[in-house]
Chains A and B, each alone.
Chain A
Amino acid sequence: MFDHELTSGAPLESDTQRIALGLRQRDAAVLETLVERYQCRLVRYLVSLFGRRYGVDDLVQETWLRVLERGGSYDGHYRFEPWLFRVARNIALDTMRKRPMLSLDSREGDGVPLSTASGEGSPYTLAARTQDAERLADAMQTLEPVYREALVLRFQEDLSLQEISLIVGAPVSTVASRIYRGLATLRPQLEGETA
């Protein structure tokens, strides 16, 4: 009945332990594997935070350098993705603080979307690969970043509410209501249309 079910998706603990050990030892092969495995997802997450593609590549590089620097603090007791996204989010927030016109948490509820860099098309319009995605692209672009972030983490990255809560530093109930509100904003774009 439900197309989207909560899946455990948790890798074996030995996998996370291997990652933790590799990061502690600054193992180049482990880092290379992680970059290959998570690069796309990292780009997608950072685009959801910024609502633009411009500058995301630099943040991705910055994130991996931070992973190299702070890798020892990942203990392998939980999945790697939440830890990685948390690192990326902190870097993104630092960048936004340096540019006070951009912020993430403080904009919840004020209804003002982040603007894209001048001359750059909406990353969501460019990335839409299905008809429904095309219909959602504009709404995704104008959706407030905190809602967009919650939707992407839940439905694209398949993270649990607890994991998202760790990433965004907000209670699970807040994360849940962000998801409800995000879905409520996007739903009218597809309601009444035939699939």
Chain B
Amino acid sequence: MNLDHHESFQRMIDQSLAGVISREKEQSLREHLSTCASCKEYLRASNRVIAGLNGFSFEVNPTLNSRVLAALRLQMQQDRAARPNRLRFLRPYTVSLKVWAALAAALSMSIVGSALLYKMATYLMVPVHFDNAQVEAGVLVFWLLPSLCAAFCLLAAPVERRGIA
């Protein structure tokens, strides 16, 4: 066997140790290792290096954990203190409160707007020869229902797309 042949198997050993070898290559490597002393020695030395790496044990400064935990607690306290106190208890509900407030505003505007529109339409119905039923239907179909639909769409939209959160 020539040198290149061994080098290719040694490259396979490296790949195997790194965890990037295919099953076929690993099978062929196993077969080669059963007959090749130099590649077996290469594998043995590599495994000893890996075992050697695991022979390093770094002692952690005994006060480090308590120091880190104290720093974390202090940071959390500072973060809490930095938040405004106003309405803190309401924060989890802020988004839904905003949505309900927007809905209430939209409903009010729909109803008040409809009343104003109806009032204006009653003045205009004489010159255009409309009767009361036509004006009421027009306000209902073209103003009140669309505005109510728009208001309730606020609730139907996903939270992240409501645009007011």
Contact = CB atoms under 8 A, between A and B. Distances in A.
Band of interface residues on A: 35 or more
A39 B65 contact: yes
Given A6-B19, A132-B55, A179-B14, A195 B68 contact: no
A133 B55 contact: yes
A130 B49 CA distance: 12
Contacts, number: 135
B71 to A, nearest CB: 5
B159 interface: no
Interface residues of B, number: 42
Contact of B61 (A4, A57, A129, A195): A57
Contacts of A44: 56, 58
Contact of B51 (A3, A6, A57): A3
B64 to A, nearest CB: 5
Interface of B: 11, 14-20, 30, 33, 41-61, 64-65, 67-69, 71-73, 75-76, 79
Given A32-B69, A64-B71, A186-B52, 18 more contacts: A3-B47, A4-B17, A39-B64, A44-B56, A61-B64, A65-B71, A123-B58, A124-B56, A133-B56, A134-B55, A137-B56, A156-B53, A161-B18, A172-B20, A180-B11, A183-B46, A187-B42, A190-B52
